[in-house]
Amino acid sequence: MSETAPQRQIVQIECGWNPVRVLSERGAVDMAARNARSPAVLVIGGHSRRSEFGEAANHRKRLVVPSSRWNSVLALAAELRRLRPGSVVAVGGGSVLDAAKVACGLAGLPDEPALGDLVNGTIPLRRTIELWQIPTTAGTGSEVTKWSSIWTEDGRKVSVEADALYADVAVLDPALTASMDARLTAATGLDALGHAVESIWSRNHRPETDRLACHALGLIARHLPDAVSGPTARHRTGMSSAALHAGLALSWCRSTAPHALSYPFTGVLGIEHGLAVGLMLLAVLEPTERIAPQRVELAANALRISGSSGSRGIAAFVKDIFSRAGLTARLGGFGVTPEFVDQTVAAAAAQPRFANHPDGLDMDEVRGALLRLV
C-alpha cells in the first residue's frame, strides 16, 4: 500500500532552552535546498547516495566531509570560507552533522584556531552561515544540540560546545533512515537510549527533561526491537522521534559516565559509538542504581520494564537489541582485553562528562562489571 506524503509539520515541543526550529517533512533535503538562504551548499558524508537528494538539491554545490576528524573539519571550513555560502544544508549521520556545525563556526573566524582553544572556549566560534541539519540516522540527536564530537588525529574524542553550534533548522525525514541495516539501527538506537537514560539520572535533570527522556524511552520500547529485526515505516518514524526527544533532553542534561567510558572503545578499537555506549550501560546500570535508585526506576518504567529490578530490566533490553542485530553483548567479542579495560577506567574519571553523573559512582564496581563482560 502506498503511503501519502505528509504535509510539512512544525514539531511543537516544550523546550525553552533549545532554539532549533524542528520540522518534519518527507523529501527533507529537497525542501531544505529550496528554502535555505541562497546560495545553499550541501554537506554530505562519503557514503551518501544521490537518490537521497531531490531535484532542487541535486543542482546545489555539494561538499563531502569524510569524517569528524579535526583535519577534515578544517578542510571543510576552508572550503566554506572560499565559497561564502548563504547557508549549509548538512545531510548525514552524527559525524557529518557534527563536522558541519563546527566548520560553519570556523568559517566565520579569520584564522584557524587550535582545537584545544575551541574545547576550552578560549576562542569562540562565530557562525554567520545559516545552518540546516538533516539526520539520516535515528540516534545521535546532533541536529538539536550545541556541541560536536571531534576526533583528533591520534584517536581521542573531544567535545566542542558553543551556542553557535545550534542549528537554525533541523528537518526530520524518517524515510532517510530506511537504508540503515540491523547493526546500524541497533547502534544508533542504543545511542538514543543512552541519551534518554543518562538525561534522567544526570545531575542536571529537571522536570521538562524528564518528560522528554521518558517519552523517548516509551518510543524506544515500542519501536527499536522491531526496527532492528523487521523495520517498517512506522518503526523508522518512531525511532526518529525518539532520537529527537532524547537529543533535546540531552541538550540540557549532558551525557554522563557511559558516554565518558565509551570514547576509547570507539576511538582506539573502532567499536561503533552507540554499541560502545550500550556496552558501557551494562556496566554502569547497577552501580548507578545503588546511588540513584529513583532515577533508574523512572527510566525503567518509561522503558516499560516490569518484573525485575530497574537496572536488570534495562540491561536485558540492551542485550536483546544486540541479539536482534546478530551481535554479542560481550566486550571480548569486540577485541577488548582486560588490560584495555584497566587503562580505560583509570583514565575515564578525568572526562568532563563524569561530573554530570550522580555522586558516589563506585569505579571499582564499574571496572569489575566491565571485566566480567570481556
The residue with greater pLDDT, 347 or 356, is 356
Looking at residue 51, its pLDDT comes to: 57
Given a cut of 70, whether residue 336 has pLDDT beyond it is yes
The total of structural domains in the chain comes to: 2
Looking at the fold, whether 170 and 184 belong to one and the same domain comes out as: no
Report pLDDT digits (tens) over 162-204.
Answer: 999 999 999 999 999 999 999 999 999 999 999 999 999 999 9
CATH number at residue 365: 1.20.1090.10
User: Residue 132's domain spans which residues?
Assistant: 21-175
Q: What is the mean pLDDT of residues 200-211?
A: 98
- For 221-256, what is the HEC assignment? HHHHHHHHHCCCHHHHHHHHHHHHHHHHHHHHHCCC
Q: What is the mean pLDDT of residues 283-305?
A: 97
- How many Cα neighbours within 13 Å face the side chain of 145? 29
Q: Is 114 helix (H, G, I), strand (E, B) or coil?
A: coil
Looking at residue 322, its pLDDT comes to: 99
Looking at the fold, whether 89 and 55 belong to one and the same domain comes out as: yes
Q: What is the mean pLDDT of residues 44-61?
A: 70
The answer to whether residue 276 sits within a structural domain is yes
Residue 254, phi-psi category: left (phi > 0), alpha (psi -120 to 50), beta (remainder)? left
Looking at the fold, whether 37 and 161 belong to one and the same domain comes out as: yes
Looking at residue 239, its pLDDT comes to: 98
The answer to whether residue 4 sits within a structural domain is no
**Band (5; pLDDT cuts 50, 70, 90):** very low
Cα first-last separation, the chain: 46
Looking at residue 56, its pLDDT comes to: 62
Given a cut of 50, whether residue 6 has pLDDT beyond it is no
Report pLDDT digits (tens) over 99-128.
Answer: 999 999 999 998 899 999 999 999 999 999
Looking at residue 57, its pLDDT comes to: 66
Q: Which of 175, 201, 217 marks a domain boundary?
A: 175
The answer to whether residue 9 sits within a structural domain is no
Q: Which of 119, 144, 175 marks a domain boundary?
A: 175
Which of 57, 61, 7 has the alpha carbon at shortest distance from 30?
57
**Band (156; pLDDT cuts 50, 70, 90):** confident
198 close to 256: Cβ distance less than 8 angstroms: yes
Looking at the fold, whether 130 and 226 belong to one and the same domain comes out as: no
The answer to whether residue 135 sits within a structural domain is yes
Q: What is the mean pLDDT of residues 54-79?
A: 87
Looking at residue 2, its pLDDT comes to: 36
